[in-house]
């Protein structure tokens, strides 16, 4: 028994670790198999059972009820196959999926969830097409509905087809789609700008009783059924079984649904790809608010975050996975603007509800991962929203940096922590994740901050002198690549303490203005080159004439 438990815990740890890397994969496999579907023989079902036990049961359970040993730590939870209720289909609302729907999901995975792709063309440890068909044949044995020919959506004609005419993405079709978005009142759930802030309370549940957060459709990697226009069209047409997302097949015609899908596509954020934040030099006073127009001219850098799974308590269900950063400076100060989407403004904090990370019994029985839905309160007005900028205290050389998770005792980091309930930022020193960061004395607190929350987005400004007299402060010097990282907390997602999102190291570079001498030397070089060229030509001509 002890050996089985040890193996189970090891498997869960490995599973959760892999999910942190693959769970948000946006890779796209082929929509359709390349070969014919094999016959569902007893031999195929038997081989599917072996694969299922080895590859699927830790999440979906040995009996297919969605209660595998890793299930409690995942949000959303794995599918309960015994109910025959599937979210992502090309069939009418309430209907079973087709076999090709199941093949697509298993091959592509579901972005923003723990369901990884299993197409062996995408990942080395994937499954061949025959193996995927075998798993599907076995999964269908969990729900008796698949054995009833009267419920077969192919035979009963319950499939939804893409429209015969699919106009290309354009400004005109997006404009029409916006009208449909407003007329159909999609904003009541998804918000006016699609950020998922239409929900006024964290009280929505799926048919299994688990809490639901409305999807932020501006983040394409969070759109589970696929972020392409045809994928989005299908969601409007079929609905998502088991959730509040209805089918619009009767309320909107095919043309309107296609227009709406194109509008949703237009809202999707295009991420920056650079890893160096260039702070621009300005000759004016730095702004005091995050809404100052001067920020419009600053270049952004998008920073991706993941759940903190390095130290106990490990949290793999973060809601903040992207923070956009800008920076400007003058001769005296530097200012950072942090922006991220959060559907709820959480500006209060209950210390009594905090999880003691030193008490493993309070943070989960398996390897100290925190259960997704019942280990910590996940509701409004319990924990605050917060964000932190992190910098090394010691100047870095080469690739040597502190650990991105709060540094260490020998290589500490400087934290700038903004907390919504305080409406202010504080400076602190962190010496590793096992120690609580220590705030600097009041006389050494030099941060100035301000924040605003509007339509599902936080904007936080933090400003400080470039150079300080404190040896534990990060010092900003022109022309130097200074590492920075981000920690973030969404209060209504139960996040506090070490339950948070975090990033690895990026860099900020204070752009130094180009000296006038550079232009002068360049001009002289051009003139000298031109003069030398003229002299060589003249010399050649004279030698020819001689």
Out of 3.40.50.1000, 2.60.40.1190, 1.20.1250.20, 3.40.50.300, which CATH number does the structure's domain 276-510 have? 2.60.40.1190
Residue 357, Cβ neighbours under 10 Å: how many? 20
* Mean pLDDT within 363-370: 64
Q: What CATH architecture applies to the domain 1-159? A: Orthogonal Bundle (1.10)
Tokens of 90: 């090309």
pLDDT the model gives residue 135: 98
Q: What is the DSSP string of 165-215?
A: --PPP-HHHHHHHHHHHHHTTTHHHH-TTSSS---SSS--B-TTS-B----
Residue 67: CA count within 13 A, CB half-sphere? 5
- Is pLDDT at 428 greater than 50 in this prediction? yes
pTM of the model: 0.88
Q: CA-to-CA distance for 517 and 521, rounded, in angstroms? A: 6
Q: CA-to-CA distance for 106 and 250, rounded, in angstroms? A: 29
Which tens digits make up the pLDDT trace of 261-305?
A: 999 999 999 999 999 999 999 999 999 999 999 999 999 999 999
Q: Evaluate whether 1-159 and 276-510 have a shared fold.
A: no
450 contact partners, CB below 8 Å, separation of at least 6: 288, 289, 290, 460, 461
Structure confidence at residue 11 as a pLDDT band (50, 70, 90): very low
Q: CA-to-CA distance for 47 and 134, rounded, in angstroms? A: 6
Residue boundaries of the structural domains of the chain: 1-159, 160-270, 276-510, 517-546
Which tens digits make up the pLDDT trace of 42-58?
A: 999 999 999 999 999 99
CATH no., domain 160-270:
1.10.760.10
* Mean pLDDT within 449-454: 98
Which tens digits make up the pLDDT trace of 117-162?
A: 999 999 999 999 999 999 999 999 999 999 999 999 999 999 999 9
- Is pLDDT at 517 greater than 60 in this prediction? no
**For residues 263 and 232, is the Cβ–Cβ distance under 8 A?**
no
- Is pLDDT at 524 greater than 80 in this prediction? no
Structure confidence at residue 30 as a pLDDT band (50, 70, 90): low
- Is pLDDT at 73 greater than 80 in this prediction? yes
- Residue 63 CA: distances (Å) to CA of 80, 114, 241: 9, 19, 21
Q: What is the DSSP string of 302-314?
A: EEE-EE--SSSSB
Q: Please give the backbone phi and psi of residue 459, each rounded to the nearest 5 degrees, phi first.
A: -130, 120
Q: Which residues of 441-474 are buried (b: 16+ CB within 10 A; e: fewer)?
A: eeeebebbbbbebeebbbbbbbbbebeeebebbb
* Mean pLDDT within 354-375: 69
Structure confidence at residue 525 as a pLDDT band (50, 70, 90): low
- Give the mean pLDDT of the chain: 90
Q: Is 492 exposed, middle or buried (0-12, 13-18, 19+ CB in 10 A)?
A: buried
pLDDT the model gives residue 523: 60
- Is pLDDT at 482 greater than 60 in this prediction? yes
pLDDT the model gives residue 520: 54
pLDDT the model gives residue 128: 97
pLDDT the model gives residue 545: 65
Least confident of 102-111, 192-201, 528-537: 528-537
- Is pLDDT at 345 greater than 70 in this prediction? yes
Q: What is the DSSP string of 498-516?
A: T-SEE---EEEEEPPPPPH
């Amino acid at each position: 028994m002890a050996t089985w438990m040890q193996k189970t815990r090891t498997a869960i740890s490995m599973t959760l670790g892999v999910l942190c890397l693959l769970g948000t994969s946006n890779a796209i496999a082929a929509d359709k198999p390349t070969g014919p579907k094999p016959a569902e023989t007893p031999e195929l079902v038997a081989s599917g059972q072996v694969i299922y036990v080895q590859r699927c049961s830790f999440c979906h359970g040995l009996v297919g009820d969605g209660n595998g040993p890793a299930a409690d730590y995942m949000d959303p939870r794995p599918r309960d196959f015994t109910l025959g209720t599937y979210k992502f289909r090309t069939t009418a609302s309430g209907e079973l999926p087709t076999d090709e729907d199941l093949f697509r999901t298993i091959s592509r995975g579901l972005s923003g969830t723990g369901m990884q792709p299993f197409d062996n063309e995408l990942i080395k440890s994937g499954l061949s097409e025959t193996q995927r068909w075998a798993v599907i044949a076995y999964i269908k044995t969990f729900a008796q509905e698949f054995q009833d020919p009267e419920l077969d959506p192919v035979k009963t004609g319950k499939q939804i087809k893409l429209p015969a005419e699919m106009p290309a993405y354009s400004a005109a079709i997006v404009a029409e789609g916006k009208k449909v978005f407003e007329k159909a009142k999609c904003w009541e759930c998804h918000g006016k700008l699609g950020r998922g802030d239409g929900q006024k309370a964290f009280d929505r549940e799926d048919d299994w009783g688990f809490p639901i957060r409305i999807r932020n459709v501006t983040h394409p990697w969070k759109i589970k059924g696929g972020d392409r226009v045809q994928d989005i069209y299908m969601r409007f047409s079929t609905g998502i079984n088991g959730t509040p997302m209805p089918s619009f097949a009767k309320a909107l015609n095919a043309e309107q649904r296609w227009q709406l899908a194109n509008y949703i596509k237009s809202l999707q954020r295009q991420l920056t790809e650079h890893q160096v934040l260039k702070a621009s030099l300005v000759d004016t006073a730095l702004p005091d608010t995050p809404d100052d127009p001067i920020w419009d001219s600053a270049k952004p850098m998008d920073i991706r975050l993941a759940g903190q799974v390095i130290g106990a308590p490990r949290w793999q269900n973060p809601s903040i996975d992207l923070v956009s950063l800008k920076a400007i400076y003058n001769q005296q100060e530097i200012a950072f603007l942090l922006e991220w989407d959060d559907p709820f403004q959480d500006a209060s904090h209950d210390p009594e509800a905090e999880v003691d990370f030193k008490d493993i019994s309070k943070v989960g029985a398996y390897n100290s991962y925190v259960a997704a839905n019942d280990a910590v309160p996940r509701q409004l007005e319990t924990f605050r929203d917060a964000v932190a900028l992190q910098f090394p205290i010691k100047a870095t050389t080469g690739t040597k940096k502190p650990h991105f998770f709060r540094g260490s005792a020998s290589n500490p980091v400087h934290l700038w922590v903004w907390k919504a309930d305080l409406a202010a930022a504080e400076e602190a020193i962190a010496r590793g994740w096992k120690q609580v960061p220590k705030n600097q004395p009041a006389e050494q607190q030099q941060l100035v901050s301000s924040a605003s929350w509007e339509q599902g987005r936080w904007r936080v400004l933090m400003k400080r002198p470039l150079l300080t007299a404190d040896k534990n402060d990060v010092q900003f010097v022109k022309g130097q690549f200074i590492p920075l990282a981000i920690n973030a907390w969404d209060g209504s997602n139960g996040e506090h303490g070490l339950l948070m999102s975090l990033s690895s190291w990026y860099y900020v570079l204070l752009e130094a203005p180009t000296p006038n001498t550079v232009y002068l030397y360049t001009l002289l070089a051009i003139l000298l080159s031109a003069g030398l060229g003229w002299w060589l030509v003249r010399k050649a001509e004279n030698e020819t004439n001689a």
